[in-house]
Amino acid sequence: MDELSIGLIREVKNYFQDRVSDFCSSSGHGFPPGINIEFILYKYLLVEILIERNTAFIGIREGKKLISLLSTELLKSDKCYLSKGVIGELDQEIRLRIPDKYLTAKGWA
């Protein structure tokens, strides 16, 4: 796993704590080469971050389709790649798609 993947995974883990699991990272061999990071949020949705040309595309994986949520340029300062605002916005977008009763039952409301 490369430094970018490790950094992004660390940022997501630090923000979501016990609400994130099952990370999987892979690198593409096309042009330009991309990086894919998948993980489960709230034990409910499969989220994917696709990195291409210094841009992160973030979405929900539904079978073979990626439902786009956000896109942002990567930061490269002090080993921080996504701004806290982007991760917070991802959290809001994901929570909108999960029933409140589920979040409450798990203690995440």
CA distances in angstroms from 15 to 12, 59, 67, 87, listed in the order given: 5, 17, 22, 7
The range of the structural domain enclosing residue 82 comes to: 3-106
Let me know if 88 is exposed, middle or buried by CB neighbors in 10 A (0-12, 13-18, 19+).
exposed
Count Cβ atoms below 10 Å from residue 64 Cβ, excluding itself.
Answer: 5
pLDDT in tens, 20-67: 999 999 887 655 568 899 999 999 999 999 988 888 899 999 999 999
pTM for the model = 0.86
Q: Measured between alpha carbons, how far is 26 from 93 in angstroms, rounded to an integer? A: 24
Phi/psi for 68 (5° steps) reads -70, 135
Question: How many domains does the chain divide into?
Answer: 1
